[in-house]
Structure 1
Amino acid sequence: MVDPLTPSQHRQDTFLDHHTHIGEISESHFPFSFDPKFYISALLSCRNLTQIKQVHAQATVNGMLQNLAVANKLLYIYTQYKAIDEAYIFFGSMRERDSFSWSVMVGGFEKAGDYRNCLGTFREVIRSGVKPDNYTLPFAIRACRDTIDLQTGRVIHHIVHKFGLHLDQFVAAAIVDMYAKCGVIEDARLLFDKMPKRDLVTWTVMISAHAECGNANESLILFDRMREEGVVPDKVTMVTVVFACAKLGAMHKAKLVHDYISMKQFSLDVILGTAMIDMYAKCGSIDSAREIFDRLKEKNVVSWSAMIAAYGYHGHGRKALDLFPVMLRSGILPNQITFVSLLYACSHTGLIDEGRRIFYSMWEDYSVRPDVKHYTCMVDLLGRAGKLDEALELIDNMSVKKDEGLWGALLGACRIHGHIILAEKAAKSLLDLQPRNPGHYVLLSNIYAKAGRWEDVAKVRELMTQRRLKKTPGWTWIEVDNKTHQFSVGDKTHPRSKEIYETLKILSEKLELVGYVPDTNFVLHDVDEELKAGILYTHSEKLAIAFGLVGTSEGMPIRITKNLRICGDCHTFSKLVSEIARREIVVRDANRFHHFKEGACSCGDYW
């Protein structure tokens, strides 16, 4: 927001000197000669709403509100103190308004979170014939962003073109941000690439948008391009880049970003430090995450929760729980995120009694009321352990609103234990909430297939066809020689496919000698066993691991990322390969990390 006064005017003496007690402005403090600058200076000196109203009253009595500069400053000060009702009443009484007046009012509503009145006032701007400027427009655009109102956002974009402001740096940056937050990344990028000049904020928005939309690799490409164009990142940008690295899960990139942070001597404060804990944990190095955690001079509840969560999804449930009392002794009280992290650690390590104790202590000991995420963790914990009746009882007795995550956890447990009746109940609730999510249909279809109920499988598939839904394809990524390689099931597009399949064949022969038999339960289709085994043989995880063996030095860890949950057969395969090839294999799937070493997995076969 731009003030109606220049900085030199702002530095003028105020009517409140060091001897005037705050809250005690009265008529005696005002001189006998009145000057607009005096009232503006007085408003700048106000410390609370009472003082603003006193100056407002004196300005009204002395006729100073006929001066547009004074009126605009009063309006602005009201909005700065979030007195939006008083501001709007005064705005309605103003005999004269200019573009700044409208901008203050539109911006005041936006900052107060009153997006309906923000956009309503902006419509009045257009109807009144006042040309919107590069101060008013960003407020209206941000209101569309915060309400994810893409339709109105596009209308405002047309208005921007109509008034020739599409090349304005501030306006264009706001539109890029709006499109990005509304999930239309292509539109955001198209406008971003056309901007003649991009500031640091716009670069940061675009980097963040690509990471949020699942294209973290493009975020890091943009980061390199930004620096090539001479734009120097700040700490906010680096937090965004670290977040993108965490999404990508590429250790090489993580180390490069860490080196850059060290080179530029960015202080490792609680925000950047916590982001780096998450980055290293999601890139597969729990030790590096802990090293950053221990280096932090200041830790808040988010830092502690991030480290607890990291231990949880790496399968170190005991370490996660051991960190909790240390956090309490440091004087940090847990919040809802802390308990989600603790319960998640319990659910993925089979710590049933500990999970129950933590869940019931939330409200009793820490006054933290469980929400649906905590119930979901408990359903997951109980369900994995086969305690489906207890999980269902917990669901039936919960007072918070049930969501798709909760029913999904129950459906997943039903798949593990083959509980058809409960699976149908969970699936019905899931499909009521998310009828267009193909994963729910696939999971139910697999449960039916495992039970041999092929007619029900056919019905589910037909329903998917009618609704034009397709199963999410499985992909696996591996980073070799600082380059990311991607595989799908049966993939033969890689330049080294011949070597990959030869390696797989040799591995399969060696695995058969130690008793490995493909678990065809994980190809739940009505086809013969030989074809099932063939499909399993070319799962994307196996192709990536085979490429890791031929593409990296002997003894080096193999790190892969899977967009879906790793199947049971690939899990067994990875364990045996880690023993035969004497390689550590780290798999990051949609749920957690698996560290395969010497024939065992960090999850203890409990995932």
Structure 2
Amino acid sequence: MNGSEKFCISLLQNCKNLRQIKQIQAFICKIGLETDPLIAGKLILNCAVLIPDSLDYACRLLFNVRHPDSFMYNALIRGLSESDAPQNSLCTFKEMCRESISPDSFSFAFAIKAAANLRALEAGIQLHCQALVLGFDTHLFVGTTLTSMYGECGCIEYARKVFEEIPEPNVVAWNAMLSACFRCGEVVFAKKVFNRMPTWDLTSWNVMLAGYAKAGELQLAKEVFEKMPIKDDISWSTMISGFVPNGDFEDAFGFFRELRKLGLTPNEVSLTSVLSACAQAGAFEFGRILHGFVEKAGFGWMVSVSNALLDTYAKCGNLSMAKLVFERMPEKTSVISWTTMIAGLAMHGCGMEATQLFNEMENCGIKPDAVTFVSLLYACSHAGLVEQGREYFNKMTTFYGIEPSIEHYGCMVDLYGRAGLLQRAYDFVCQLPFKPCATIWRVLLGACSVHGNVELAEKVKFRLLELDPSDSGDHILLSNLYAISGKWKASAAVRGSLSSLGINKETGWSMIEVDKIMYTFVAGGEQNEITNQAYEKLREIMLRIRIEDGYIAETNHVLYDVEDEEKEEVVSRHSEKLAVAFGMARLSKGSVIRIVKNLRICGDCHTLMKFISKAYSLEIVLFLSLDTEASDHIQDSVSPMLWFSEIQCNTKALDLRGLRLILGTLMLNPIPDLLSPQKLFSSWSSSVILAVRLDVYRFTTFCLDGKLLPFLS
């Protein structure tokens, strides 16, 4: 190697971006070394592996080399295998073979890795056979990659056989086998492999942590974590991220606090995971503290962290802060950022604003993905924008070429169902290009229940019994519908079938954050100091709103044919009532009360929340854990995105279509034709309308100048 070559290689080793690569290449051409195989290989390696966003340039470099060798091809195969399009790595491997350049062990290892990333089992087997013929299958690097590939494809027996044929597996090979076990769900076998390992490195421990966490074996994960001789940021982030999908939010918060107490700096995964826990648990205060840490520690530039913050504020009911985070993002080039903001607007009932943001997203040149359209259709569904939703669904397939998934079809069924177009929703389901799954029918059953269509609900329930007879929610929903319709015998028969089928009804619970601690209340749970305090406060609240505000319990959703007094007692034990009462007893005056629950709120609880909100001037936010679809926002104030919304109108120029249009701009569903405008406004020349929604499907009351008009859909 002469001096010029050494100098060029030194330049390439210190190169940091594509602009510098091009400058160095120009210098190489100037001194006549562009045909040097060593220099050309290093150039391609830098572009393919070391410099981000320069793979296309690496491909052009290889194309311009007259006689490329295996090193150049290997560099490109390696870079492509780790890219967003691993299939191009396999194409490059095939081209290498067609050019009569013999692949070596590295060629096979990189190509097999591409097959693993694609989970392309057939391609992986073909590469395995070719490596076997050429004698590379027992090479340590190839054998390790084959073990990983079979693990990714769910073939644990193949992975085990390949691993056992490696002559002297090192710790990397053992770790590959360990990972394969967990990917294939072989938790017990993974423990045996771990115990057989001659030595463990930090990766071995982290693989065990991640494997147990993903399998839901959190206690075992904790035991492994305690035994670890050394822990790095991956260890901590693995534990924190493992708790969140399993709903153990308090443990996630606890581990994050411990991480900070030890003086360690959380990484990107830790922050996004703990923010996700805040979003799902409704832990607004803890999320706000994390936001301060993010800004102070300089993590605000990370797109994933900003997206997690945005999602946290939206799900905790603070849409204004979510908008602020979105506006202050250093760059909005990620489709995830736009999708998260659209989802947040949809969650708060701001359907029109969500569609406007989608249009802005298109104007900025950001291509929406399948998840974006799920959020957009969801927004249209909750805002009653039926025709717009249908147009977006068609645009998704015809203009963007996105194949609709179950989620998209489910949103369309929900769109029609919420608008009361039940027959249209039923026809849509029957015309799906595949056999409708239980989830699709379940959406329609919910709409039937809300609109009181017993006949169609029975048809839908028959389909559900064929697909998923063990789901308690379907039985309860139909029983509820029968009870509301006064068909007590039919209701009792459905509930009786739960016992005969051995199906248990899911217990309802609600969580509230007080002083950065999450408290959980269970419907009809055991008495203790916390629940006693909640019951005492609830009795005080009930007494006040009954005497001063005329609150009367809604018992029509109680599914037992018993006296009204007994029904009142049943609904008084609901967990969300206890959580709200506890929050009012413990939180400072004026605090926002945020409740997370696992089941939908009943009509009486919703009515009670509205009475409490008005009587005590409180803002109450309720939403389902891991299900943003049922997010409710209750506040006694003037705001188009909240449950209580005031609008000024001139009744002389108002007809029913005008009323629908006004209510549509408030993100509320259009009212049915049961109430004529003449009847509604017979004695009012100019009024303030207070629209009160019982749930996401219908209105229950109009209040004109302080007078209530009953209105049931």
Q: Tell which deviates more after alignment, 490-499 or 391-400.
A: 490-499
Superposition deviation, residue 575 in structure 1:
0.8
Q: Report the CA distance between 1:106 and its aligned residue.
A: 2.1
Q: Do the aligned partners of 2:377 and 2:393 also contact (CA within 8 Å) in 1?
A: yes
Instruction: Tell me the equivalent position of 2:321.
Output: 288
In 1, distance between residues paired with 2:135 and 2:630?
60
- Does residue 1:442 correspond to 2:476, yes or no? yes
Q: 1:78 to 1:353 in 2, by over 3 A?
A: closer
Q: Is residue 438–residue 464 contact of structure 2 (8 Å, CA) maintained in 1?
A: yes
Residue identity in the other structure for 2:314: A
Which residue matches 2:711?
Answer: none
Q: Confirm or deny that 1:125 pairs with 2:163.
A: yes
Kindly state the Cα deviation for residue 330 of structure 1 after the two structures are TM-superposed.
Answer: 1.6
Tell me the residue number matched to 1:17.
Answer: 38
- 1:303 pairs with one of 293, 315, 337: 337
Amino acid in the other structure paired with 1:120: Y
SS at match of 2:331: coil
Equivalent-residue separation in structure 1 for 2:127 and 2:174 (angstroms): 23
Following the alignment from structure 1 to structure 2, what is the Cα–Cα distance between the partners of residues 318 and 535?
39
> In the TM superposition, what are the counterparts of 1:371-520 in structure 2 within 5 Å?
371-491=405-525, 493-495=527-529, 497-513=531-547, 514-520=549-555
The share of aligned pairs that are identical, in percent, is 32
Verify the 8 A CA contact 2:339 2:371 in the aligned structure 1: yes
Query: How far has the Cα of 1:569 moved from its partner?
Result: 0.9
Q: Tell me, yes or no, if structure 1 residue 521 matches structure 2 residue 550.
A: no
User: Pick from 368, 373, 379: which aligns with 1:345?
Assistant: 379
For residue 523 of structure 1, what is the amino acid of its counterpart?
A: V
RMSD: 3.4
Give 1:174 shift. 1.6
| Displacement after TM superposition at 1:58 (Å) | 7.0
The structure 1 residue matched to 2:636, chosen from 592, 598, 601, is 598
Matched, 1:193 2:229: no
Could you tell me how far 1:75 is from its partner in structure 2? Answer: 4.2
Match of 2:86 in 1: none
Change (3 A) 1:122 1:319: same
How big is the shift at 1:178? 2.3
- For the residues of structure 2 that align with 1:180 and 1:501, how far apart are their CA atoms? 37
Give the Å deviation of 1:388.
1.1
Q: Which of 567, 576, 579 is residue 544 of structure 1 equivalent to?
A: 579
Question: Which residue in 1 is equivalent to 2:134?
Answer: 93
Task: Decide whether the 8 Å contact of 1:584 with 1:597 is kept in 2.
Answer: yes
Shift in Å at residue 377 of structure 1? 1.6
Residues 282, 316 of structure 2: 8 Å contact kept: yes
Q: 1:529 to 1:95 in 2, by over 3 A?
A: closer
In the alignment, which residue of structure 2 is the partner of 1:135?
A: 172
Superimposed CA distance per residue, residues 11-54 of structure 1 (whole angstroms, 9 cap, x where no aligned partner) = 9x997134787468889x99xxxxxxxx9899669895478659
The answer (yes or no) to whether the contact 2:241–2:269 under 8 Å persists in 1 is no
Q: How far 1:455 moved relative to its partner?
A: 3.8
Structure 1 residues 51 and 559: CA distance shift in structure 2, 3 A: closer
Per mean C-alpha deviation after superposition, the further-off stretch among 518-527 and 368-377 is 368-377
Aligned equivalents of 1:565, 1:161: Cα separation in 2:
46
**Does 1:335 find its partner at 2:377?**
no
1:177-197 Cα shifts (integer Å, max 9, x gaps): 223223333333333333332
Distance 1:268 1:115 in 2: 37
The one-letter amino acid paired with 1:479 is E
Partner in structure 2 of residue 530 of structure 1:
565
State how far apart, in whole Å, the 1-side matches of 2:397 and 2:96 are: 43
1:273 to 306, 312, 316: 306
Q: Could you tell me how far apart the structure 2 residues matched to 1:187 and 1:483 are? A: 25
| Residue 175 in structure 1 maps to residue 211 in structure 2 | no
Q: Distance in 1 between matches of 2:594 and 2:137?
A: 66
Contact 1:25 1:54 in 2 (8 A): no
Query: CA 1:313 to 1:15, structure 2 compared with 1: closer, same or farther past 3 Å?
Result: same
CA 383–76 in structure 1, closer or farther in 2 if over 3 Å, else same? closer
2:253 paired with 1:214: no
Q: Is the 8 A contact 1:42 1:55 kept in 2?
A: no
For residue 107 of structure 1, what is the aligned residue in structure 2?
A: 148
Match of 2:686 in 1: none
Q: 1: distance between equivalents of 2:610 and 2:74?
A: 71
In structure 2, C-alpha distance between the alignment counterparts of 1:545 and 1:362, rounded to whole Å = 41
How far off is 1:141 after superposition?
Answer: 3.5
1:535-562 Cα deviation digits (max 9, x unpaired): 1123221222222222222222222222
Alpha-carbon distance in 2 for matches of 1:58, 1:354: 57
Once residues 25 and 156 of structure 1 are traced to their aligned partners in structure 2, the CA distance between those partners, rounded to angstroms, is 46
Contact persistence 1:88–1:105 (CA under 8 A): no
For residues 149 and 137 of structure 2, what CA distance do their matches in structure 1 show? 18
Give structure 1 stretches of 5+ with no counterpart: 1-7, 31-38, 60-70
Tell me the amino acid that sits aligned with residue 122 of structure 1.
R
Alignment gaps of 5+ in structure 2: 1-9, 14-32, 42-60, 79-91, 116-122, 645-667, 669-691, 697-713
TM-score, normalised via structure 1 length = 0.84
SS at the partner of 1:150? Answer: coil
Residue 558 of structure 1 aligns with which residue? 593
Contact 1:16 1:45 in 2 (8 A): no
Cα deviation code 1:384-431 (max 9, x no counterpart): 232211111111122144223211111111111222232222223334
Matched, 1:326 2:360: yes
Per-residue deviation, 1:344: 1.2
Q: CA deviation at 1:254?
A: 0.3
**Residue number in structure 2 paired with 1:62:** none
Deviation at 1:125, TM superposition (A): 3.0
SS at match of 2:596: strand
For residues 55 and 499 of structure 1, the distance between their equivalents in structure 2, rounded to whole angstroms, comes to 79
Relative to the length of structure 2, the TM-score reads: 0.72
Please give the per-residue CA displacement for 1:425-479, whole angstroms capped at 9, x wherever unaligned: 2223334333333222222222233334344334433432234321111111122
1:551–1:22 distance in 2 versus 1, CA, 3 Å: closer
**Are the counterparts in 2 of residues 23 and 50 from structure 1 also a CA contact under 8 Å?**
no
Alignment correspondent of 1:76: 109
1:69-111 Cα offsets, whole Å, 9 max, x none, are xx6445435546668534642344328945445224323555x
* Matched residue type, 1:601: W
C-alpha distance in structure 2 between counterparts of 1:156 and 1:101, whole Å: 21
**Relative to structure 2, which stretch is displaced further, 349-358 or 91-100?**
91-100
User: Alignment partner for residue 575 of structure 1, among 610, 630, 633?
Assistant: 610
Q: Distance in 2 between matches of 1:376 and 1:58?
A: 51
Equivalent residue letter for 1:572: T
Change (3 A) 1:339 1:276: same
Does the 8 Å CA contact 2:282/2:594 hold for their aligned counterparts? no
How many Å apart are 1:533 and its aligned residue?
Answer: 0.5
Q: Residues 478 and 486 of structure 1 are in contact (CA less than 8 Å); yes or no, is this contact kept in structure 2?
A: yes
CA distance in 1, matches of 2:521, 2:241: 26
Structure 1: distance between partners of 2:525 and 2:74: 69
From the superposition, tell whether residues 527 and 119 of structure 1 become closer, same or farther in structure 2 (CA, over 3 Å).
same
